[in-house]
Amino acid sequence: MQIENFIGGNFIAPLNGDYLENHNPATGNVTSHIPNSTADDIAEAVQAAQDALPAWSALSLSERIEWLEKIAQALESRKDEIANIESMDTGKPINLARRVDAARSISNFEFFAKHAETLAELTYEMDDATNYVIRKPIGVVGLITPWNLPLYLLTWKIAPALVMGNTIVAKPSELTPLTANFLCEVLASIDFPKGVLNIVHGLGINAGQAILEHPQIKAISFTGGTSTGKIVAATAAPMFKKLSLELGGKNATIILDDANLSTAAKGAARAAFTNSGQVCLCGSRILVDAKIYDEFIPLLIDAVNTMKVGNPAQDDSDIGSVISPDHMKKVLSYIELAKQEGGRIISGGERMILPQPNSNGSFIAPTIIEGLGIDSRCATEEIFGPVATIHKFTGDEEAIRMANGTEYGLAGSVWTADLARGKSVAEKVESGILWVNTWLHRDLRTPFGGVKNSGVGREGGDWSLNFFSELTNICVKDD
């Protein structure tokens, strides 16, 4: 299969005629060829987005909401295809792709269609005047997304950007381009206005960098690694582009001594190993009160052992492959480093060779490492794979100090029978999102984003709608 860029409502080849191979990481097979686009393709896409802007931004909010609802319905009728394509492109289990990726890609459009209707009118009365705030579109916006939740994260940006009247140039990860292409096919099938959404495929250093540098792209919403985020900020900030940066994490799962240990063990295993640990919110550091450590470890290992690593195409697989052979090498090198740093592998610790058709797939057993210092490299650097380190603490204050001991601050969870204590600990953790007695329990109205090196800004609900608008205050003096 060869896919093309989607520019001005048409599927078109990259101007240089160059294509990249795209692989299924669970088999190693080439599934498709994708455009290796350059700044020239981005320039065409920006032109198409600019041409489409006047008509799209002139639609009423309710007309744009209707379009979001139409897109959601069209995706809903093809949700099994989304799940199949996403599972093949990422190596994630089909049941996860159905429950999470396909479902959320649809609900992102449904949610922002509904949420845009609830936007409060902002007015501020003065003694002698009234202020009121209107939201204007920004113009052409650039969206750049990673490979771990491809259509889920792309639509999380597309839906609010569209509903607020912007037109879009987006670049999905070169490792997982297929569901973005599928979305373009769906849009073409419902006669979505041409040029409003343009998707350009290719490498970050070429197509991605060209989005950052293009002077007519007025805002950038980027989700990806912290080191790429630095490049995004360094390029876009001097051009005074509006920026939203959703970056990496090294999140703590904190098990207090009064927690229900069986529930906490299952929660910690899910937080560590969902999507092979390739969710920015994954709890890759498990902090356990020393009083219950010995009782907790076997429960955690039991919970991990119930997770079946298998062919992602089969319904009973819980853990699939990691994203690529290169990423597998990186993750395995961290496991070797952990051994050198004095860590003991208490679960997993190696590559898994599965039977055909997955014998060339990039599978790693879910791995838990104990005995490492909380400041060791494996406990502080984002590995972004099925590897968690486990550490003992004494007292809640030490747990909080350990949780805050990295450059990241995205998410975390606290497990306890005492909700007041759980909230008190959660409030002291330096992260944008904390859960008490649960993990990845999402209400799309809430602010989502990180502190420290995990990002700048918030997305979700009103925060997304405000990001994708120019808020304009008009002050009217009384007669």
Q: Which parts of this chain interact with ligand NAD (CB under 6 A)? A: 144-148, 153, 171, 173-174, 204-205, 208-209, 212, 223-225, 228, 231-232, 246-249, 280, 382, 384, 410, 450, 455
Nearer Cβ to ligand NAD, position 208 or 349? 208
Give the CB-nearest residue to ligand NAD. Answer: 204
| Residue 14 DSSP code | -
Give least dist CB 321 to ligand NAD, A.
15
280 is annotated as an active-site residue:
yes
Q: Which of 4, 246, 370, 459 is catalytic?
A: 246
Give least dist CB 152 to ligand NAD, A.
9
Residue 420 sits at φ, ψ, to 5 deg, of: -65, -40
Nearer Cβ to ligand NAD, position 71 or 236? 236
Number of other CB atoms surrounding residue 159 within 10 Å: 27
Q: Angle, nearest 10°, between helix axes 79-90 and 150-163?
A: 130
Give least dist CB 334 to ligand NAD, A.
14
* Distance set, CA 4 to CA 12, 58, 177, 377, 466 (Å): 5, 29, 10, 41, 32
Q: Which of 184, 280, 282, 378 is catalytic?
A: 280
Give least dist CB 51 to ligand NAD, A.
24
Query: 61 CB contacts (<8 Å, ≥6 apart)?
Result: 116, 117, 163
Nearest Cα to Cα of residue 342 among 305, 391, 297: 391
Nearer Cβ to ligand NAD, position 181 or 311? 181
Q: Angle, nearest 10°, between helix axes 61-76 and 103-117?
A: 160
Give least dist CB 341 to ligand NAD, A.
21
Give least dist CB 421 to ligand NAD, A.
28
Nearest Cα to Cα of residue 439 among 230, 324, 280: 280
Query: 38 CB contacts (<8 Å, ≥6 apart)?
Result: 14, 15, 16, 202, 206, 207, 210
Give least dist CB 456 to ligand NAD, A.
11
Nearer Cβ to ligand NAD, position 119 or 451? 451
3-state helix, strand, coil in the chain (%, to 5): 40, 25, 35
CA angle 383, 387, 391 (to 5 degrees): 100
Nearer Cβ to ligand NAD, position 192 or 384? 384
CA separation for the pair 300, 293 (Å, rounded)? 10
Give least dist CB 424 to ligand NAD, A.
25
Number of other CB atoms surrounding residue 363 within 10 Å: 25
Nearer Cβ to ligand NAD, position 56 or 384? 384
Nearest Cα to Cα of residue 241 among 223, 255, 224, 221: 221
CA separation for the pair 383, 354 (Å, rounded)? 23
Write a three-state SS string for 81-128: HHHHHHHHHHCCCHHHHHHHHHHHHHHHHHHHHHHHHCCCCEEEECCC
Cis bond leading into 357, ω under 30°?
yes
Nearer Cβ to ligand NAD, position 64 or 250? 250
Nearest Cα to Cα of residue 172 among 137, 198, 141, 140: 198
CA separation for the pair 82, 98 (Å, rounded)? 8
Nearer Cβ to ligand NAD, position 91 or 422? 91
Helical spans, DSSP H, in 288-447: 293-305, 325-340, 377-380, 396-403, 419-428
Nearer Cβ to ligand NAD, position 93 or 248? 248
382 is annotated as an active-site residue:
no
Residue 128 sits at φ, ψ, to 5 deg, of: -125, 15
CA separation for the pair 53, 75 (Å, rounded)? 24
Give least dist CB 268 to ligand NAD, A.
19
Give the catalytic positions in this structure: 246, 280
